[in-house]
Structure 1
Amino acid sequence: MSDATTSIDLPSTASLSAMVTPFDADESVDHDALAHLAAWTIDGGIDGLVPCGTTGEFAGLTREERRAVIETTVETADGRVPVVAGTAATTVPDVLTFVDDAAAVGADGALITPPYFHAANDPAGNRSFFERIAADSALPIYLYNIPSCTSGPLTPETVEALASNDAIRGIKDTSGDFSTIERFVARTPDSFRVLQGYDDHFVGAQVMGASGGINALAGVLPGAFQSLCGAIDDGDIGRARGVQRDVLSPVFEATLEYGFAPAAKAALCERGVLDRATVRPPLVELDESARAAVAEVVQTALSSLN
């Protein structure tokens, strides 16, 4: 079992895939499809896998399903890349239960949102929430700032305070706000990984000092993210901007319009990676028109990448 003092080996500019959870026609988890997706993503050059996040429909999975999804992902990764598992919940004991489950099946880290539904009445509430988790976590922790889906944003002051905790290694920011990324970078040590979660801002965030991203489209267009990271590491911001503009941004706009999990699954079907784009309620599959729109932008993106 891993522990919160174990380091996670990531390159200086890292791209991790926020994975979808494939379902059969009856909405049960399709573990064969999941293993195929994980292997395909790794072969595409991605630096890490993140199951059971937002795009993975974690809120629609049971505890047993979450553990099984993480286990399949870890077994497929087989040590080639780290697995940072989504372990979000609304209470400290529940988060720690999910962290323990992830650690027991071999995950390398845990990605945790602030509580959802109940808003912290003061930023100190979010700080206390994460400090209590960190005190007993079996895995290194990555904070997940996603204000649109939780009780509110993690403030730069809160993140600065939490970054001094040895168990808390970084943050995924999906606020869509460049100023927030800049403040996180400025207020945290170099060893603290600030990872962009808003795909359309990947290049801009790296210019501001971020060190990679955890992105839904990294699981759809891994080659594009491999190219982006290589261009950034080479200091070729012009080439990186071209990949962002011509390949990623059009597909990201489609995922924003149609929903990340449904659109990402439709895109993976278009690429021949998945056979089905099944989602669970309250999400719905894309209609014929939306599927055609996603297919078009994916094919255009692939043409631009080549």
Structure 2
Amino acid sequence: MWATLLLPLNADDSIDFRRLETQAATLAATELDGLYAHGTAGEFQTLTEDEFDRINDLLAATGKPFQLGASHPSAQVQLERVRRAAALEPGAIQVIVPDWLPLNDREVLAFLRRTADVAGEVPLVLYNPPHAKTRVDPQLLRSLADAVPTLIGLKTAGGDKAWFDQATKSGLSIFVPGHFLASMSLLGAHGSYSNVAALSPNGAVRQAGSLDVERRIAEFFAQHVVPLQKAGLSNPALDKFLAAVGDWADVGTRVRWPMASATREQVEAARPAARSLLPELFADSW
């Protein structure tokens, strides 16, 4: 169970590094297996290179196992991020397939091979979310795993039994969203880069295997997350909304321009429902 750093933002969209350092220290003291930065929820596409490096240094200093996302729509920028991230010796580096134009299978393999060469001994995790322009199916996944020995994991939305039956043949660790972890573990998932940890870090760890809690998380999401999603809020905005509902750190709901943010009123409306539906997640503060 891994949790992401979320960017606390000032009114001018600059990162409040004091609040980010406090957030990282709070997460480092939890029961989470590790922390990561620069996924979708970390708004990686908005970061300057100086911000990217500063967040990496902050995360590496927590003493908690950590992974770094080097993702960027540009393959060239991503490769340089991989080079700098590898110097900090994270447990893994998360990468995406370059994302302005879809790539064919040969191009995906070429990208991962060169990226692995730059990463050296640091292993890679392929992040392939549903909105990616290049979708990596289980057959391609197996080919990539065979060709790139340091590719060790897949960060994905998962699938049905037939999908898992094929994807697990790759031998990679398959990590799925936190609100599907209990049910997808029965199909072959190995863990989660968890959105539920945004709501309650320790609660997400302790209730990871509970199908009943998963069912009630789905009920809470249907009441308070899906309406925001339908209104056009992005995944980073939704994860910050969950962190504000959980109230375990001063993250705030603001996301970087031009994305829209959840409101204080929406957060306050959801807090009683979260604690009523999911008391197990909040039994021990965060």
**TM-score normalised to structure 1 length:** 0.80
- The corresponding residue for 1:298 is 274
* Contact 2:95–2:126 under 8 Å retained in 1: yes
| 1:122-167: CA deviation from partner (whole Å, max 9, x where unpaired) | 333222221221122242100011131x213111111111222221
Change (3 A) 1:287 1:299: same
- The corresponding residue for 2:61 is 75
CA distance in 2, matches of 1:152, 1:21: 27
1:91-130 correspondence runs (5 A): 91-120=74-103, 122-130=104-112
Change (3 A) 1:215 1:127: same
Task: Check if 1:204 corresponds to 2:190.
Answer: no
- The corresponding residue for 2:203 is 224
Q: Secondary structure at the match of 1:160?
A: helix
* Contact 2:198–2:240 under 8 Å retained in 1: no
CA distance in 2, matches of 1:252, 1:113: 27
| Correspondent of 2:235 among 240, 244, 260 | 260
Q: Secondary structure at the match of 1:163?
A: helix
Change (3 A) 1:176 1:188: closer
Question: Percent of pairs identical after alignment?
Answer: 21
CA distance in 2, matches of 1:97, 1:88: 10
Superposition deviation, residue 106 in structure 1: 4.4
RMSD across aligned C-alpha pairs, in angstroms?
2.3
Amino acid at match of 2:102: A
* Contact 1:16–1:50 under 8 Å retained in 2: yes
- The corresponding residue for 1:155 is 137
- The corresponding residue for 1:34 is 20
- Using the TM superposition, name which of 18-27 and 264-273 deviates more: 264-273
- The corresponding residue for 2:7 is 21
CA distance in 2, matches of 1:18, 1:89: 17
CA distance in 2, matches of 1:90, 1:285: 23
| 1:146-191: CA deviation from partner (whole Å, max 9, x where unpaired) | 131x213111111111222221111111256564344211x222xx
Q: Secondary structure at the match of 2:39?
A: coil
* Contact 2:74–2:100 under 8 Å retained in 1: no
* Contact 1:199–1:252 under 8 Å retained in 2: no
Q: Secondary structure at the match of 1:147?
A: coil
**TM-score normalised to structure 2 length:** 0.85
- Using the TM superposition, name which of 57-66 and 21-30 deviates more: 21-30
Task: Check if 1:194 corresponds to 2:174.
Answer: yes
- Using the TM superposition, name which of 259-268 and 44-53 deviates more: 259-268
Amino acid at match of 1:222: P
Amino acid at match of 2:43: E
* Contact 2:82–2:115 under 8 Å retained in 1: no
| 1:77-96: CA deviation from partner (whole Å, max 9, x where unpaired) | x1x3x211111123443222
* Contact 1:34–1:73 under 8 Å retained in 2: no
CA distance in 2, matches of 1:88, 1:304: 34
Q: Secondary structure at the match of 2:61?
A: helix
| 1:103-134: CA deviation from partner (whole Å, max 9, x where unpaired) | 234433211111212012x3332222212211
Change (3 A) 1:226 1:304: closer
- The corresponding residue for 1:51 is 37
Change (3 A) 1:290 1:152: farther
* Contact 1:57–1:261 under 8 Å retained in 2: yes
CA distance in 2, matches of 1:285, 1:92: 29
Change (3 A) 1:244 1:294: same
* Contact 1:147–1:175 under 8 Å retained in 2: no
